[in-house]
Amino acid sequence: MQRSKLWRIALTGHKRLSVPLMTATLLSGCASASVGNDYCLLYEPIMSSSEDSDDTLRQIDRENVKWLAVCEGLEP
């Protein structure tokens, strides 16, 4: 049997198994991310730098507003 055909057979079986495993992983990750206390234990506010671009500064502000709302209970 040709080597390329063997690889095709091996990858086909692997794809069938990988899709359910990836789906289960993604779903379990989403479930734990929705708990506020876990987020606050892992995340901390991001500090900006004078070298940051305007786009980076907007992204930093957006993430810090989330942190304030979830961890400090402040409204944006």
pLDDT band at 71 (very low <50, low <70, confident <90, very high): confident
Q: Are 71 and 43 in contact (CB under 8 A)?
A: yes
Record the pTM.
0.47
For the residues 38-58, what does the mean pLDDT come to?
A: 91
pLDDT of residue 72: 81
pLDDT confidence tier of residue 41, bands split at 50, 70 and 90: confident
Residues in the chain: 76
SS3 at position 44: coil
Q: What is the mean pLDDT of the chain?
A: 73
Question: CA-CA distance, 24 to 12, in Å (whole number)?
Answer: 19
Q: Where are the chain's structural domains?
A: 1-34, 35-76
